[in-house]
Chain A
Amino acid sequence: MAEALLSVRHLEKAYQKNVILKDISFDVHKGEVVALLGRSGSGKSTLIRTLNGLEPFQKGELTFAGQTIVPNAATWLQLRQKIGMVFQSYDLFPNLTVLDNICLAPTKVAKRPRAQVAPEAKELLASVGLAEFAQRYPRQLSGGQKQRVAIVRALAMHPEMMLFDEVTASLDPEMVRGVLDMMVDLAKQDMTMIVVTHEMNFARQVADRILFLDDGLITADTTAEAFFTAPPTASAKEFLASMNF
């Protein structure tokens, strides 16, 4: 197999004496969709947030696209242009229109001309059925629409990898489908994705691999099919039973 896009080796993180992540190692290859599963508090959100520098870590090594990541502010600033992230709470900027939300980073960070970015942003919006919302403000959108815009906003930076942190967790049930469909499409377009989710059906359908986190430790790293048909640990079995899907 080709070289990994992202390699995590012996990653450790602690808040003071409280160890959150223990000796985490895994690879993500180009085009792969990896779902991070685990109970609340197992460290999955913390793990995904360390991957773009929102959380510092104490030990271990990260490699992205063959380059070892020196974890300082300047490196993360560069890398965040290549690693997009979407959060549970959408966090569109309320002071900007939908279109300006999407164009902000490509024009200010990537320094691309707006004349080139705006049409592309509109195209992306149209592809997820939100073309007529370009000039509206986030407060005029439903939760599901906001989250789809947030994903478009991250995609407008042309990331090489996307991180999704429980992006459907605070949506009304009828809004979840639209957001998940968008992620399914992304997966089909071979976007490399790491997804923290509680949507087991989605994980099973889309993920190439499952990483199961148990108390800060990866206790399973296996294909989705294997994970769901024969959970590799008692803890994973219990977890799946509790998810009741």
Chain B
Amino acid sequence: MAHSGIDLLFQGQNFARFLQGFGVTLRVAVITLVIGGVLGVVLGALRTLNNRPLQVILRLYLEIFRIVPTVVLLFVVYYIVPQVFHLEMSGEMVAIVTFALWTGAEMSDIVRGALIAVPKHQVESAQALGLNRLQQFRYVLLPQALPVALPGTINLATRIIKTTSLLLMISVMDIVNVGQTLVEANGHKHPAFAFWVYGIMFIMYYILCAPLSWWAKRIEKQRLERSNG
């Protein structure tokens, strides 16, 4: 029987390197989600204010990060920022900065949508009780907006995980880059090896994203059931 290449996966450091790649992917995704998430909540809240210049700026920010492909943004930060600002940044750092800015933009839209979905009467009722702007936000608006924003946020998290595959482009050793290297090193001798490598990648991404996706669907369904009840 021809050598299928599956045993190569477990030869030497190969599998350990795969797990390391998995770790890098996970780390970048989690840090991005935390930083981008906080940025998004702040920007989303600012976008509900009646301040025209601020709205134009924040809208522009959102549109730029939504329209320009993430890979282009990544290259801009990777090649241009270090030269212009004389900043030394690791590839991983560059990726986190870029992805966090992108996540913040997307997140601001989710948060804004959830905040304006809270009925106006709720705010008036809080005002009538003497709550100031910050208190209205903290005790009334945010707690009601978060459940609405959660499914969209979880979906965004899966998009972040998938987008980390772009780390390959700036030579960070994530899952895809590790796999690519393994295939390049062994592929000419064992053409079927690529099948196993990409199979592992498929499974690793699936393990990361599927539960999130399932969770998002579940809480959205719960929320709809509750709001109807």
Contacts and interface: CB of A to CB of B under 8 A. Distances in A.
Interface of A: 52-54, 77-78, 80-81, 84-85, 87, 89, 91-96, 104-105, 108-110, 139, 150, 153-154, 157
A157 B226 CA distance: 31
A237 to B, nearest CB: 34
Judged by DSSP, the binding face of B is helix
B145 to A, nearest CB: 10
A4 to B, nearest CB: 22
A108 to B, nearest CB: 6
Contacts of A91: 119, 121-122, 124-125
B211 interface: no
B133 to A, nearest CB: 9
B9 interface: no
B132 interface: yes
Nearest to A85: B128
Max chain B CB contacts within 10 Å: which of A80, A95, A153?
Answer: A95
A80 B229 contact: no
Contacts of B129: 80, 84, 104-105, 109, 153-154, 157
A105 B130 contact: yes
B181 interface: no
Nearest to B135: A108
Given A80-B129, A96-B139, A108-B135, 16 more contacts: A53-B127, A54-B127, A77-B132, A78-B130, A80-B127, A80-B130, A81-B130, A84-B129, A85-B128, A87-B128, A91-B124, A93-B144, A104-B129, A105-B131, A108-B131, A150-B125
B148 to A, nearest CB: 11
Contacts of B143: 93, 95-96
Interface size class of B (residues with CB under 8 A): 10 to 19
B140 interface: yes
A93 B140 contact: yes
A157 B130 CA distance: 9
A47 B139 CA distance: 28
A109 B135 contact: yes
Contacts of A110: 130
B128 A104 contact: no
Given A81-B130, A104-B129, A139 B229 contact: yes
A87 B124 contact: yes
Contacts of A154: 128-129
Contacts of A157: 129-130
Contacts of A153: 129
A104 B139 contact: yes
Contacts of A89: 121
Given A95-B143, A108-B139, A77 B121 contact: no
A111 to B, nearest CB: 11
Given A89-B121, A108-B135, A84 B128 contact: yes
Contacts of B121: 87, 89, 91
A240 to B, nearest CB: 30
A154 B139 CA distance: 16
Nearest to A139: B229
Interface in B178-216: none
Contacts of B127: 53-54, 80
Interface in B84-131: 119, 121-122, 124-131
| In the complex, the 5 A-B pairs of residues with the closest C-beta atoms, listed nearest first | A91-B125, A105-B129, A95-B143, A80-B130, A85-B128
Contacts of B132: 77, 109
Given A95-B143, A95-B144, A109-B135, A80 B122 contact: no
A172 B220 CA distance: 31
A109 B131 CA distance: 6
Contacts of B128: 52, 54, 80, 84-85, 87, 154
Nearest to A100: B139
7 contacts: A52-B128, A87-B125, A91-B119, A93-B139, A96-B139, A105-B131, A154-B129
A114 B122 CA distance: 23
A89 B130 CA distance: 18
A136 to B, nearest CB: 14
A109 B134 CA distance: 11
A153 B122 CA distance: 14
A154 to B, nearest CB: 7
